[in-house]
Structure 1
């Protein structure tokens, strides 16, 4: 049996890793744009032609196939023209750790499967809790912000049920979750999965820039109670996906404490501020939350997946505990993480953050995140000063929202150009930008999470945006002119 990683295949393992890393290093060094630009139909054909039912072709040939099929057509987040979503280049120490955890294949659900791995994860959870300001906090690593938010709202639901008493079904039908329209989509999805009413998520007004308005929250909570509803949780966002703004957590916590409402802070994006020496104040009040979502695979530059849910009171996690004699019996004194997690089998993703902190230090990770925020501020100034571009608000983090306005175009045409510009750039593979909707109008979005990207790099992307928009606008004008000059149909 030479297919498995065992003591007898270590030489093969060493050669295979060397071959694979050489191919990867070559791709990283030679890639000239963030995407190949291959058409989806062509990629579908390449994928469908692979015979998954046939005999094996050998490991070396399979790795070569990965190179030609996947790496040739991958999306490269490290390329400076990738500016679309909340994806980051990854810290080198974390890549080394990824290789270790994949080879050892540790599962950190129970102590007897992970031993020191469990203790290392718990230490990182404690470290993160301390950074948040929880004196005795606890938590668990998760697959991402969506799972962390679901877990937090599950715990909030169980706490509200325990406080309410009475029939469970009756209480569930009355529960509400209060958040702004800028909160992550997982808030509404979690409400669905948790069996809440269709109208359970109550949208709270904002300040016009996407940040929750504390007075509107106060009114929203009051109206819910007046109508017989049961406020279960308030979700504050420390880094909204689109605008990159941070809700005023301190003032929100004031309103939550008055009525004993669970405050969850979704800091999936803004968690990098926990290690920033220049901007930590933007998270003021986060220590007053009952639970916090952190996504290390965003602003800590970790490979996917690396996220966590942190709670202020360790006892809150007991609401999700479930025991099985074969896994984690009730009388077991070992520190089993499965008692806290929504997952059972779970990768030792904490190892990546551990190695990154030890190799680089927390301050350095904070500097890297600060660099992306500095870049976004510079880019926003560039956009604001460009007559052919329109800046849509200001970010507290690393996003830039804007529209392109070629000469002679009106607002409707500029709105219509958003999707076209994004599509043209994506299909060419030269640059990737995102699109979204702000105040009922579409706009383009740059998400800058690469500390090595320069202002000149982004200027090149903006130039491509303006060129694409001008070309599309000219085509639109020519089409309109042709239609005007055409003879009417009989």
Structure 2
């Protein structure tokens, strides 16, 4: 590799901010189309000739219409946000890689449906290999790991809830049957975390059949009746399981509590510490509360790359504590890491790229392989087209979930299909192919995508240093990745004044043709973080409970180019200073 691997990778595997690789991309897409045309025309010798299927004047009558409407569509799409540009630092979107584009395009032409091997004989194999490549990067054994591609992180998170419920429901159902037949008092919390080894031993000892187990299952029978029986066997009202997730969680977790019928109350929010990460002391407090109330923990969620700030929760210390509970108390609580954004940062480990990370962030990412399940979005830092998420588990036992019948898809001679174990029925192979080709070319390791991740972190560091030097009002949040968040506050002033100033500057950038940024408001879950930022400039909390911050996401690959940084950073700083000056009269008014 060269002294600057990220720059070489960007030049080799991305279109270029000004389409510098346009000719190469066009050539590769032409080659894909030529290959597809040859395959179609030569696939069957007895195919009907095209002239027998298409009227002679069809191209004249309809071809012109198609061409004009296609041009109309292309013209309309030019009004889309130019997220390919390094000037766009607003949200988790950037340019697509060449492997991502070409892999997606090649598979899309064949249109395989990864619901089964019958509908996707090649696409399903590509999916398995792509999942293996992701598993290897995330710390799982690629030969044992299981998973599949989804339409995004939201569905991948739902897949985790589904499997965690499957496991908890089995364990609790068995314990309920034993309590009802022996008269022993049921402890729902301990029973729901017993583990598969104890489950199998107890099931064998009590000779429990599938039908009996189903009759005690809230998922397989009547949940209202099962909860009533749990209440009777435990001697207290059973209020159902809870999920523990940090205050920086994605909105999909609240959706999951609604969709799976848990209720909003069952979503217990873990407080965040002064750096915006999951607070371990509060997590332990909530576990103690759940045990005291007899409410099983369906799953414990941690975040690697929070949507708002890019924060990485302390997975290593969290899992150390949960391992201790497992050893001392026999509790097996499902642990899921939502790494939709930050999962690819793990590619930085075990090489020179790791130096761009703080040691505690590297330790947290290294612990990811100890999770029971992982969500990751290749359509974010994997630079492949939407919509492409993935859900992974370390092995088949963790991947197991409720079985459903679909006789028209039952083709055992073709191998196992994913249709019975995915929430989505039809699933395109295009995202899997895009991820597969990215893994085969750019690569997910420290000298491939990991080097590019390191470049995005360094770009954020350079941005923060430049803004700090030129704008003393800038108050940056603690950071773990490539997202920079800052408010604009002066010493000793109240939060409402700094929020007004920050809001006015953001409004300027909303109108600016030069740069795109985003904003977010840190709420009550970030109380410790807000207090720490205010303390740094003797700021005062007042009528405003939340802190407004400007948010800049440095995932665009072209920030690895020195000319881009040297050109754009001074321009951004100048515009920020001008917006700050202009904001004062508006704020005073």
- The TM-score normalised by the length of structure 1 is 0.81
Whole-angstrom CA distance in 2 between matches of 1:200 and 1:100: 44
Residues 289-368 of structure 1 correspond to what in structure 2 (within 5 A)?
289-328=371-410, 334-348=415-429, 349-362=431-444, 363-368=447-452
| Aligned residue among 579, 584, 589 for 1:468 | 579
Q: Which residue of 1 aligns with 2:552?
A: 446
> Does the CA contact (< 8 Å) of 1:108 and 1:118 recur in 2?
yes
Distance change (3 Å), C-alpha of 1:391 and 1:383:
farther
| Contact persistence 1:217–1:255 (CA under 8 A) | no
| Mean CA deviation greater in 379-388 or 247-256 | 379-388
Aligned to 2:69: 62
Are the aligned partners of 2:135 and 2:392 in contact in 1 as well (CA < 8 Å)? Answer: yes
Contact between 1:406 and 1:469, CA under 8 Å: does it hold in 2? no
Partner of 1:304, secondary structure, is: coil
Instruction: Give deviations 1:198-221, integer Å, cap 9, x for gaps.
Output: 211112223211111223212210
Relative to structure 1, the CA distance from residue 66 to residue 461 in structure 2 (aligned partners, 3 Å threshold; closer, same or farther) is farther
Instruction: Give RMSD over aligned pairs.
Output: 2.6
Structure 1 residues 448 and 27: CA distance shift in structure 2, 3 A: closer
CA contact (8 A) 2:245 2:268 kept: yes
1:196, CA displacement in angstroms?
A: 0.5
Secondary structure of 1:297's aligned partner: coil
- 2:506 is aligned with 1:422: yes
Output aligned runs, 1:145-294, within 5 Å: 145-165=153-173, 166=176, 168=218, 169=223, 170=227, 173-257=239-323, 258=325, 259-276=331-348, 277=351, 278-279=353-354, 281-294=363-376
Q: Which runs of 5+ in 1 are unaligned?
A: 1-23, 30-54, 481-490
CA 1:101–1:429 in 2, change beyond 3 Å: closer, same or farther?
Answer: farther
Is the alpha carbon distance of 1:436 and 1:333 closer, same or farther for their aligned partners in structure 2, counting shifts above 3 Å? Answer: same
Which one is further off, 166-175 or 319-328? 166-175
Structure 1 pair 26–255 and aligned structure 2 pair: CA distance change class (3 A): closer
Shift of 1:389: 3.3
**1:126 Cα deviation (Å)?**
2.0
Which whole-Å CA distance do the structure 2 matches of 1:26 and 1:405 have between them?
34
Provide the residue aligned with 1:389 in structure 2: 473
- Rg comparison, structure with higher value: 2
- Compared CA separation, residues 427 and 59, structure 1 to 2 (3 A): farther
Give the one of 120, 123, 132 matched to 1:114: 120
Structure 2 stretches of 5 or more lacking a match?
1-14, 21-61, 177-215, 231-237, 326-330, 355-361, 523-529, 531-545
3-state SS of paired residue (2:297): strand
Q: How many residues matched?
A: 428
